[in-house]
Structure 1
Amino acid sequence: MNQVITFGEVLMRISPRGNKKFMQSNMVEFYFGGTELNVGISIANFGGKVKHISAVSDDFIGDTALSYIRKFGVSTSSIVRSKRPLGVYFLEVEAVMRPSKISYNRSHSSFSEIVPAMVDWEKALRKGSWMHWTGITPALTKGAFDTLKEGLVLAREKGLTVSADPTYRSGLWQYGQDPKTALIELLHLSTIFIGGINEINEVLGTDFSYSNEDFIEASQRIMDTFPSIEKVFDKIRTSKNSSWHQIRARMWNGSEFRETQDLDITHIVDRIGTGDAFAAGLIYGLQQYDDYKAMLFASAACALKHTYEGDVNLTNVDEVISIIDGNISGRFVR
């Protein structure tokens, strides 16, 4: 497998232990993550080669973040250092009917000052075969959007597969760029669409429903609008409460619709990064298996991420395959 390239902010997450609120506790834990980084580390845990591109603080926190990334085998050779602090977010973890709460402190972070001149894309993509982007990064700053677009243009010129997870979060787009216009520009440089009806409706200005029939029509509309996109994959989450969810997936590749069975997650340990785990499983799976098995792999990887604390999916290929094979009892492995 050749190298997968990810580009995005590295964040430090700070949380009270367990399911406590901040006002209950003076003991906190920290983790490193970030949407695209979570994808990259998960792929590395499956045995893939990964390079992450970002800007981190030039201090001991940045040193610690780089050490964390490297311990998973992810290359940090294209990460630059900044005098600004690393971005931080604070999380109170949900329980039963109580939802999680997040507060971000990233407006003046090290990544917020990134501009195209800071990334040598020719060097960064030299060993790459796949590049992954999400809608989080272009929403942060004009510099992040321009840097990402420059990388995607070169990636397509070099023939890399480009997967897009055009997550739309309205609260992030604060610098004057029109979100729809920006995402459309980037989707014209993409080959795999990872997203559901909400993302499709946002990009196309449509009102498709969540039915399988509408999903097929919406996916075909995406492929017609963006001719470079070859396949569409959608993760579906059904919430019983904050601690009990079901996950399944569906796909349309222009000729075939397939859907997986629900996977029950009856006790969620940590929901952060589960969508990233799905994307990582899909990227890895599409390089190893056919479309349907890749989707099964992605769904199982996503389900397993709910069992790990922190932003990153720590599962390996054997554990994912075991779930695909129906081994969901959680019995001891000796």
Structure 2
Amino acid sequence: MSQIITFGEVLMRLSPFGNKKFIQANTLEFYFGGTEVNVGLSIAHFGANVKHITCISNDFIGDTAIAYLNKFDLDTTAIIRTNRPLGVYFLEVGAVMRPSSISYNRSHSAFSEITPEMVNWQDALANGSWFHWTGITPALTQGSFNTLKEGLKLAREKGIQVSADPTYRSGLWQYGLEPKKALTELLHYSTVFIGGINEMNEALDTNFGYSNEDFIEASKLLIEKFPSIEKVFDKIRTSINSSWHKIRARMWNGKDFRETEDFDITHIVDRIGTGDAFAAGLIYGLQYYDDYKAMQFASAACALKHTYVGDVNYATTDEVTRILEGNVTGRFNR
């Protein structure tokens, strides 16, 4: 059976219960996540065959993380174990006008020591039909950039579709590689671009605005500069406050521009992983639907993720489909 492949760090999230700050708290709850594995877990929960490639600590925390991934029937056979600790991040969940705050502890994590020699990409991609990467992984270390690049090169040689979410976070790029050069190099191995105007401006060294007209022109230029890219998808978030957002999406596939309606999310439970839920919904949707319906599925999946605590979207395909059919009242299912 063909597999969807994700590659990136698995992190443990520690957070006070509810909307407390750490200074208020005496107890914490933990979850496992990480940008790319959030995508993989969500797609696996939809019922697809997914393999995640990463490096995890060889201790009981690593055992627990792998057990969590296995709950979703995620293929963990390509996971490497090392004696460094699992990466951790700390989250204070905001509310209304108070934003959420995050602090990372990942600079000496198990994943930080990954190198191309540690991953057998031939075996890992043997059944691959899709490979998803984000801008987080190449930002961490030279080893993670080199390892990702090797995987992407082989994926394209094998004709595997590659989706790119080239998120740029300036605080991560500390090891000397110039971010724009690195990300644009990896975009040449990608076929589907998941990102907005900011990401396109970064890749193109342009200054497009946020209008639909600018989005179309930026998409055309992106496809011209990176000929392997065939489609561009953009999730748009409108923030009323920390607890109330609106989500919609738009696309350019080289021929057509389409845009979804807003999903009004008036009471956010957890915003972490919502972009990953969009990417997961899109990747899954593109296996079964046309581009527009896949984007609608992704938007609904993203909206639903705001209702789940933790990093991962636990929505099923049936639940996403019900949202698409207009069932947004939240009434009991009996």
What's the TM-score once normalised by structure 2's chain length? 1.00
* 1:210 alignment partner in structure 2: 210
Distance 1:322 1:84 in 2: 43
* 1:193 alignment partner in structure 2: 193
* 2:72 alignment partner in structure 1: 72
Distance 1:287 1:140 in 2: 30
Any gaps of 5 or more consecutive residues in structure 2? Answer: none
Distance 1:158 1:248 in 2: 34
1:47-66 deviations in whole A, cap 9, x for unaligned? 10000000000000000000
1:283-304 deviations in whole A, cap 9, x for unaligned? 0000110000000000000000
Read off the aligned partner of 1:329 and give its amino acid letter: T
Deviation at 1:132, TM superposition (A): 0.1
1:118 equivalent to 2:148? Answer no
Deviation at 1:145, TM superposition (A): 0.2
Deviation at 1:120, TM superposition (A): 0.2
Distance 1:70 1:146 in 2: 27
Read off the aligned partner of 2:330 and give its amino acid letter: G
* 2:283 alignment partner in structure 1: 283
User: Sequence identity of aligned pairs in percent?
Assistant: 75
What's the TM-score once normalised by structure 1's chain length? 1.00
* 2:159 alignment partner in structure 1: 159
* 1:333 alignment partner in structure 2: 333
Which structure 2 residues correspond to residues 82-231 of structure 1 after superposition, within 5 A? 82-231=82-231
Q: Secondary structure of the equivalent of 1:320?
A: helix
* 1:323 alignment partner in structure 2: 323
Deviation at 1:2, TM superposition (A): 2.1
Distance 1:2 1:228 in 2: 22
1:242-264 deviations in whole A, cap 9, x for unaligned? 00000000000011000000000
Q: Secondary structure of the equivalent of 2:288?
A: coil
Read off the aligned partner of 1:184 and give its amino acid letter: T
Deviation at 1:108, TM superposition (A): 0.2
* 1:242 alignment partner in structure 2: 242
Deviation at 1:94, TM superposition (A): 1.1
Read off the aligned partner of 1:40 and give its amino acid letter: G
* 1:265 alignment partner in structure 2: 265
1:173-229 deviations in whole A, cap 9, x for unaligned? 000000000011100000000000000011111000000000000001110000000
Distance 1:150 1:2 in 2: 20
Q: Secondary structure of the equivalent of 1:237?
A: strand
Read off the aligned partner of 1:64 and give its amino acid letter: T
Q: Secondary structure of the equivalent of 1:14?
A: strand
* 1:30 alignment partner in structure 2: 30
Distance 1:203 1:224 in 2: 12
Q: Secondary structure of the equivalent of 2:88?
A: strand
* 1:312 alignment partner in structure 2: 312
1:16-44 deviations in whole A, cap 9, x for unaligned? 00000001011100000000000000000
* 1:3 alignment partner in structure 2: 3
Distance 1:47 1:84 in 2: 32
Distance 1:22 1:152 in 2: 40
Distance 2:332 2:244 in 1: 22
Distance 2:78 2:94 in 1: 35
Q: Secondary structure of the equivalent of 1:247?
A: strand
Which structure 2 residues correspond to residues 49-68 of structure 1 after superposition, within 5 A? 49-68=49-68
Q: Secondary structure of the equivalent of 2:302?
A: helix
Q: Secondary structure of the equivalent of 2:31?
A: strand
Read off the aligned partner of 2:11 and give its amino acid letter: L
* 1:40 alignment partner in structure 2: 40
Distance 1:35 1:72 in 2: 16
Read off the aligned partner of 1:203 and give its amino acid letter: A
* 1:297 alignment partner in structure 2: 297
Q: Secondary structure of the equivalent of 1:107?
A: coil
Q: Secondary structure of the equivalent of 1:177?
A: coil
* 1:252 alignment partner in structure 2: 252
Distance 1:94 1:132 in 2: 30
CA RMSD of aligned residues (A): 0.5
Distance 1:127 1:228 in 2: 21
